[in-house]
Structures are given as structure tokens and as C-alpha cells.
Amino acid sequence: MEITSSMVKQLRDKTGAGMMDCKEALVAAAGDFDNAIDYLRKKGMSAATKRSSKAAKDGTIASYIHMGGKIGVMVELNCETDFVAKTDDFQALAKDLAMHVAASNPLYVTAEEIPVEVLEREKEIYKSQAAAEKKPEKIWDKIIEGKLRKYYEEVCLVNQPFIKDPDITVETLVKNLIAKTGENIIVRRFARFQLGEELKK
């Protein structure tokens, strides 16, 4: 099947990957769009894994104010160089993440940040539910594992479906840009303020 420039452009617009990578993905997928996206994601993930050991000490802090000043968010997004930090793609990602945090209200960046006592409490709740539903004890661990995955999607930024494209997670969104820039990119932290919310003691 002939891979046209409009197909390459369409895939690039959807994924943000480079033109050559998009063409390579479409050739590998024989023109199938979904398979080409999967190909790019896998390539991005492997590139991202290779970059993860690199220090990300540059970057930007983006802010987003929502609902006429009722919700405000700041996100610190890190990369390796000032050059990448100043690119439109990087700045756009930082702004998108701030907007995502405003809309989706995550509690943590990654699952690793969840306090042990919070996780243990969740597991106890799931175990009680499984017992109440008279599920066989031998499958409790599997049930708890599945419910924890759902919990991570609710409370961890990187596990949440991206608000602008729910087919991908925030983690995949970041990894796509890692693959495109060739630099390690990390969501370092965020702060979300909602007018009138109770302050934690």
C-alpha cells in the first residue's frame, strides 16, 4: 500500500511524532492507522526507558486558572536542556498538564508517591468488599490488584486518561514527547488550589 504524505501528516497531527517516524510506522503497519499508533507508542516507550536515567534539571513551571479564578494550578515539568524547555511542544505539554490537573484533580504524580498507610487502607477496603460479595479467597489478590489499578487511574496524574485524548494516559503523552525530543521529561510536582476548599491541618 502506498503511504501518502497526507497519511503521514494525519498521523503526525494525532501523535506529535516526527515525520520520518510516522512514515516508518505507517509502512510497518501497512497503512493501518491504529497499528501505526501502537508502533509509535512502543517505539516511544523504549526510547523513554533509555532516557529515564538522564538527569532532567531544566524545564518550566506552567500555570492555569479556571472558572474565572475559582481553580488555579501550577505544574513543574522538567527536561534535560534549556533548548527543549523553550520549544513550543514542551511549553504546550506543560500547559496541557496544568489544565488536566485543574479538570481531573489528581492527588499524586505517580503511584510511588502514595503513602503506604493510604495504600494499605485501600487494600483492606477491597478485601472487605470481596469477602462481603462472597468471592473465593484465592482470587482476592487478583481482585485487589485490579481495583488498585483503577484507584491509580483516579488519583495518580500519570495514570489518568488525558482529558484532551482519553485514549492515552498522561504517561503516554509525556513518553511521546520524550521519543520526539530525545530528552528525559519528568512531571516533577503540581499544586492545585480551589477557592473555598478546606485546608489540610
Domain range for 165 = 58-110+156-194
In this structure, are 74 and 12 located in the same domain? no
In this structure, are 80 and 161 located in the same domain? yes
- Looking at 16, 35, 51, the residue that finishes a domain is 51
- Which amino acid, residue 6? S
Question: Residue 11 falls within a domain, yes or no?
Answer: yes
170 Cα distance to chain centroid: 2
CATH number of the domain encompassing residue 18 = 1.10.8.10
In this structure, are 160 and 147 located in the same domain? no
Q: What does the pLDDT profile of the chain (201 residues) look like in tens digits? A: 788 888 888 887 776 667 778 888 889 988 888 888 888 777 765 455 555 555 677 999 999 998 788 999 999 999 998 999 999 999 999 999 999 999 999 999 999 999 999 999 999 999 899 888 888 888 888 989 999 999 999 999 999 999 999 999 999 999 999 988 888 899 999 999 998 877 664
pLDDT on residue 49 = 53
Question: Residue 16 falls within a domain, yes or no?
Answer: yes
pLDDT on residue 14 = 72
pLDDT on residue 199 = 65
The CA-based angle 14-37-182, given to 5 degrees, is 80
The CA-based angle 100-103-109, given to 5 degrees, is 50
In angstroms, the Cα distances linking 3 to 13, 17, 25, 77, 147 are 16, 16, 10, 35, 42
In this structure, are 11 and 44 located in the same domain? yes
In this structure, are 11 and 65 located in the same domain? no
In this structure, are 14 and 104 located in the same domain? no
In this structure, are 106 and 27 located in the same domain? no
Question: Residue 120 falls within a domain, yes or no?
Answer: yes
CATH number of the domain encompassing residue 128 = 1.10.286
Say which residue the cell 502506498 belongs to: 2
How many domains does the structure of the chain reveal?
A: 3
In this structure, are 146 and 119 located in the same domain? yes
Question: Residue 201 falls within a domain, yes or no?
Answer: no
Question: Residue 200 falls within a domain, yes or no?
Answer: no
**In the chain, helix, strand, coil percent, each to 5?**
55, 20, 25
Q: pTM to 2 decimals?
A: 0.69
pLDDT on residue 177 = 93
Interval 165-185: pLDDT, tens: 999 999 999 999 998 888 889
Long-range contacts of 158-163 (CB under 8 A, 24+ apart): 158/109, 158/110, 158/187, 159/110, 159/111, 160/100, 160/104, 160/106, 162/96, 162/100, 163/99, 163/100, 163/103, 163/104
In this structure, are 143 and 180 located in the same domain? no
In this structure, are 79 and 170 located in the same domain? yes
In this structure, are 18 and 40 located in the same domain? yes
